[in-house]
Chains A and B, each alone.
Chain A
Amino acid sequence: MNRPLFFITAALIFGMVAAGFTSINYIPAFIILGVAVTAYIFLNKKFGQLVFLVFAVFGMALFSFQDTYVPKNDIRAYLQGVNAETDNKNGITAVKVLVRDDPEYNDNKTLFYGELISVFEKGREITGISGQVRVTLEKDLGFKPRYGDILYIKGKLREPEPPKNLGEFDYKRYLRYKQVFYTVFAKDTACEKQGSRIDNLFKQVSYGVKYKLLEVIYSSVPKAEADILNGLMLGNQRVIPDDVYDRFKITGTVHILAVSGMNVGLIGLFIFLVLKVFRVKRKAAAVITLLFIIIFAVITGAGASIVRATIMGCVVLVGQILEKDTNLINSLSIAAFILLLFNPSNLYDVGFQLSFLATFGIIYFIDWVEAKIKGMPKWLSGTLASSVAAQLFLTPVMADTFHQTSVISVLANIFIVPLSGMISILGFAMWLFGSWSAALGKIFGASIWVMIKFMMLIVDTLAKAPYAAISIKTMPALLVIIYYLFFIILPYDDIDIKLKNTGLKTVLGISLLICFPLHLLLPGDKPAFYALSARGVNAALLVTGDNKKVLMLGRDDYKNNFGVKNTLIPFLRYEGVNNIDKLVLYSVENSANIAALKRSFMIKGIAADPLSFARLDNDKGAVKIAEDYYIKEGSKTFLTFSTDGVDAAFGDKEILFLKSISPGIEKRTGCVIYSCVADKNAVLPLAKNNICVINSANEGFYRKPPPVEADNIWDLSEKGMFKYP
């Protein structure tokens, strides 16, 4: 066995996956470990299988331990038995936290993870509580907490809510994988610094370096391009505008805005080069570079991707110091093993999955792909091969997590990857010289500015291509197994399976060729009406009998596009929607909402009331709903658009999407009515003879009114997504 670490890590992962499927407690898991090892030693002499078994059971026990063990003074133990799902039932009105890492800032919010020091319940401070919380401060007066600050925050301790809509990001699970079980939300005016405590001096120094680097960036490059450079070099995606970020996603190049192996490799290359110019000896240069990449990992937040790359980089550098060759698969395995040892839940973290799968795919597949594309310059074939290899291994995860894949990713990456690499190298030079002299920083800043403008031109152009990104539904488990098996055995000779002279590779390949396009193209939707629990917008999707998609938006919050960005678009992607046959807009004031939908989907027709029509961008073929008119959509659904809303004949029922409630509507019976007006008094008369759907949270983003409790009223903010039938 020449890759023992890969074998051991595979065993560990196997055990953790097994634990994930069962709810076994850690004590029985350790007992099973002891019994299994003892039995195996007596019964079986095969060492390799014994090692696999030991590490598999160890992985199972480790995962179970983390999943089920709750320390005595943990906030979860303190709140055990209290129903914390509804407002303030746990009675905690304020918390005192230690800021655990460098907060993230954007125009509207400050976010950070805090270590609990104490909580305040009914005016009494309760100390000795431990645990982590995710804190969000709404930026009102620009208060900026820093690492090590001890903060008193007046805000309720809440469990994060599970998703209320299909396709929605599961924030509760995401935080759980980071061992965070509660959130605190407050305005920054409700936050007071009460001291500081630095537990990790190395972190503090690293963050000091980060602020200095940010100053150089923003004093050397104009803001719009500086934000992109901030994302590219430090992985800070929050400063990048939504529309720009979307274009990177559509072109499959968003990975350059996340710090990863490329950044680590470039830093290593640059530092080595600088040290070589100063004639520093190779081993000393390796040690210095090691220190720099560790600092870089800390200042960029130490996510799974950068930690993976840093560990692999460290293995290579230590190999140089010790004058030993390194195996990339073993380095990758060490990185996985260490990350899983510290936090087994990393296995289910999307960042971990994407990072390791992409790296494994590149290491495993790049030689085979490069051999098939001979005749190109080395830099082009290398970029193309790694792009293809990564894309192949990532597609099932992308389908399951984002329900989206980029069709032009390979083409886009040929341009963007080398360009972003060059920008990063010049960025390091800018940091180096700009730290001495602002004028020198601006010299490099100017070149970087031009290169970023050029890069954005390419991204903007490619993102406009029709179907540049397509929605892709979660692949069934069997299809995923066939998919990965095929690509794993593809570089090797076929395996005879004694089936009419065909090999395994051929069988898998044919199955994939038939099943994958079917999965992509077969329409899965039966006629249905979906109403979404979306913040800041009323949104509903009607899928007609002839599979036409009519998307209705009404009365949005002009200040934020959270609902469209984080709920509606993921839902449409989850449902495999690529085309919207009709987009209907009532009182949609936030043009960013319309733009986000147009970027993400092919919209064949728009109908808008006068207020929304004014927000359109001279769209050809858009119709202003100024008076009643009728559209017949196929033979099974008949749609009417009026100034009050949409009326759709839907089988034996009628579906109404109402911007406002006009007199006479209460006389309708047997309908499903979505009312954008969430006023209880207005809706109750309708609910007598119809099913009514409202979104009561839309009256205020953070000020949730009491839910409307009545028969036949479905309040989306309380009950989540509504579907008929």
Chain B
Amino acid sequence: MKLTDEERNILIAIVIAAAAGLIINIFFSYNNKIQATESVSAPMLININTASAEELDRLPGVGKVTAERIVKLRETDGLFTSADDLKKIKGMTMKKIEKMRKYITTEAAK
């Protein structure tokens, strides 16, 4: 395998970079610098157990009044276990719930 000067220099640079990278990883807590990034496929979800009325307002089919009703129901009846619990809200239909289902989660507040 006969390498040109350019190819040889590139291979040397790659080896040096690998060595330097290994040192940085071991001695400089490199892992901590890499923040968890948003997965390319996962959309943001609104937690109906913790979201404010303003955040709930962003859901399709939910206006200011419905958002406030959701917050009030949460305060009086406790946390929602699933999106279907929203049926109890005045003005909420199954069609609206189906439309917003992919945008919501019901993880309990910590």
Interface residues of A (CB under 8 A from B): 140-144, 189-190, 211, 214-215, 218-223, 226, 269-270, 272-273, 276-277, 279, 422, 425-426, 429, 442-450
Contact indicator A144/B30 (Cβ below 8 Å): no
A270 to B14, CA, bound (A): 11
B58 at the interface (CB under 8 A from A): yes
A448 to B40, CA, bound (A): 22
B27-50 to A contact mask, C-beta < 8 Å, 1/0: 010110111011011111110000
* Count of CB-CB pairs between chains A and B under 8 Å: 93
Segment at the A interface, from B5-13, B69-77, B79-87: B5-13
Given A144-B41, A442-B21, A220–B10 Cβ distance below 8 Å? no
Which of B11, B31, B59 contacts A189 (CB under 8 A)?
B59
A140 to B103, CA, bound (A): 10
A144 to B35, CA, bound (A): 21
Which of A218, A279, A446 contacts B1 (CB under 8 A)?
A279
B92 at the interface (CB under 8 A from A): no
Which of B24, B35, B59, B103 contacts A446 (CB under 8 A)?
B24
Which of A143, A277, A429, A442 contacts B31 (CB under 8 A)?
A442
A221 to B31, CA, bound (A): 9
Query: A residues within 8 A CB of B11?
Result: 273
B55-99 to A contact mask, C-beta < 8 Å, 1/0: 000111000000000000000000000000000000000000000
Query: A residues within 8 A CB of B18?
Result: 429, 443-444, 447
B108 at the interface (CB under 8 A from A): no
Query: B residues within 8 A CB of A273?
Result: 3, 7, 10-11
Kindly name the residue among B34, B40, B43, B45 whose own CB sees the greatest number of chain A CB atoms within 10 A.
B34
Query: B residues within 8 A CB of A425?
Result: 10, 13-14
Query: A residues within 8 A CB of B24?
Result: 446-447, 449-450
Contact indicator A277/B40 (Cβ below 8 Å): no
Contact indicator B60/A189 (Cβ below 8 Å): yes
Residue of B nearest to A212 (CB): B40
Which of B10, B33, B34, B43 contacts A269 (CB under 8 A)?
B10
Question: Distance in Å from the Cβ of A22 to the closest Cβ of chain B?
Answer: 48
Given A220-B34, A277-B1, A422-B13, A443–B58 Cβ distance below 8 Å? no
Contact indicator B34/A219 (Cβ below 8 Å): yes
Contacts A273-B11, A447-B20 known; 15 new A-B pairs at CB < 8 A: A141-B58, A142-B44, A189-B59, A189-B60, A190-B60, A220-B34, A222-B33, A270-B10, A272-B7, A426-B17, A429-B14, A429-B17, A442-B21, A443-B25, A445-B21
Contact indicator A447/B10 (Cβ below 8 Å): no
Residue of B nearest to A214 (CB): B40
Contact indicator B10/A443 (Cβ below 8 Å): no
A322 to B27, CA, bound (A): 51
A219 to B42, CA, bound (A): 16
Question: Distance in Å from the Cβ of A100 to the closest Cβ of chain B?
Answer: 19
Query: A residues within 8 A CB of B43?
Result: 141-144
Contact indicator B25/A442 (Cβ below 8 Å): yes
Residue of A nearest to B14 (CB): A429
